[in-house]
Structure 1
């Protein structure tokens, strides 16, 4: 194998940007299942036997997502000087990410966003909830800004404090430089007990990025869905509760309510993008200005 080929594989360990989501599939009741139909009791075995590309993804993520890396990415991206565009334009921009190899769907990115939103809409949720479903993955445009997969998607976790065993593939943290910093390896680390998740640095990715882009425009329940939907160790396994406060505990139910729609809403019926576009353009205009800084 040539060095360039090996480097390319390490930059793109997954065949598909959304492959990591296959570890978090939910059935109609919201109980996690794998693609083979396994229930939660079998879920950890499935993760252990997951294909090599997903393991390599998490090896890279857990090795490279240090506190210094996260702070550097926040300095780089949170001034939001990369691009100016509206939400619909951002959806079209994201649509240039093509997931040809996804075995579960041939949907475009816009079709997948609409499918998520339509599932929420069908269940009679508020308009802001529907809109949250529509936009929640827009932070994946980080890939179009040149970020590697491990800095865009994947389960999120706090940096600057001890790693929970509830994080997928916790053994890969052994190669993270922060694992050798004693201050970072206590339960609270650089934080204080009960400080609240607003004060905690999660690893960098599309969730945190999009939260900062839209934080002035959506209700706090929708913002929590966006910011924490990949923080499985907290909202599914109950880890890191010692860092949470009353606000986090109140919003937790909304994050959990959102996740069945996020986990795998890809179905067999494509949404009619042309027919649905007027509804979603009006919904976007109800909450967002014509252009946002990205």
Structure 2
């Protein structure tokens, strides 16, 4: 039996909600998402030199990452985890596991990762209420962090989280602390998969490095990644999302775009 699922139609031009004047910022604060300038520790976002409670943890993380994240290591991990033989579970079950995970690479947040997923998704919903595929993309964009948990292999933080960078070529200066160093089936659009894979590739989407590695479809998806990045970064806060309140909405999106159970 063949089941046809209508794929989402992407807007031709992602709307620009940046560069607002003061009156627009007030309106955004009431009706949409307004990106703060300061994180919950009183510093600018992604300031890796600022003194904070997170600084030593983050610096040590990137030291280990740039030493150990080698080309051969990545090839081994890709081969190992491509087997999808760890377990079977639904998307929401996997999200709940991130209650146990705090990202050591993040200077802006020390909350469990499920809160980050929901903060990002809820922020995007405010500005893009009709793009449900983007809401779901935000919800699942960091699910790979379950690889830190014992049931998924218990990999060290340096092997799982942190900024993305290419191997087999020179480090670009935009890489953080650079001196140290589809089988499951989904109807999400290609832009969603691009966002999930490259949302932490800051040298690409923020510094503009490595664009020679993109094909035409990548270049189109990069526009949506630029949109997504604002919400991924600036929604991090100490404000808690009521998980049970928003759960039914995200469960409906999971049912729309994914099978009930996936292999992990």
After superposition, residues 123-162 of structure 1 pair within 5 angstroms as 123-125=127-129, 126-144=131-149, 145-162=153-170
1 CA distance for matches of 2:61 and 2:111?
23
2 CA distance for matches of 1:221 and 1:67?
26
Structure 2 contact 40–238 (Cα < 8 Å) conserved: no
Rate the CA distance shift 1:215–1:36 in 2: closer, same or farther, 3 A: farther
2:207 counterpart of 1:255: no
Rate the CA distance shift 1:30–1:267 in 2: closer, same or farther, 3 A: closer
Aligned residue number for residue 42 of structure 2: 36
RMSD: 3.0
Aligned residue number for residue 222 of structure 1: 192
2 CA distance for matches of 1:157 and 1:39?
19
Structure 1 contact 62–172 (Cα < 8 Å) conserved: yes
Stretches of structure 2 that go unaligned for 5 or more consecutive residues are 1-32
2:89 counterpart of 1:81: no
The structure where helix makes up a greater share of residues is: 1
1 CA distance for matches of 2:140 and 2:200?
15
Stretches of structure 1 that go unaligned for 5 or more consecutive residues are 1-26, 174-211
2 CA distance for matches of 1:157 and 1:215?
26
2 CA distance for matches of 1:122 and 1:224?
22
1 CA distance for matches of 2:102 and 2:49?
30
2 CA distance for matches of 1:240 and 1:30?
29
2:139 counterpart of 1:169: no
Aligned residue number for residue 216 of structure 2: 246
TM-score, scaled to structure 2: 0.75
2 CA distance for matches of 1:242 and 1:121?
32
Aligned residue number for residue 61 of structure 1: 65
2 CA distance for matches of 1:105 and 1:114?
13
Rate the CA distance shift 1:166–1:266 in 2: closer, same or farther, 3 A: closer
- 1:142 is displaced (CA, Å) by 0.4
Rate the CA distance shift 1:286–1:35 in 2: closer, same or farther, 3 A: same
After superposition, residues 174-253 of structure 1 pair within 5 angstroms as 216-253=186-223
Aligned residue number for residue 97 of structure 2: 93
Rate the CA distance shift 1:88–1:38 in 2: closer, same or farther, 3 A: closer
Aligned residue number for residue 256 of structure 2: 286
SS of the residue corresponding to residue 68 of structure 1 reads helix
1 CA distance for matches of 2:45 and 2:91?
36
2 CA distance for matches of 1:223 and 1:30?
27
2:241 counterpart of 1:276: no
TM-score, scaled to structure 1: 0.67
Structure 1 contact 34–46 (Cα < 8 Å) conserved: no
Structure 2 contact 147–154 (Cα < 8 Å) conserved: yes
SS of the residue corresponding to residue 161 of structure 1 reads coil
More deviation, 268-277/241-250: 268-277
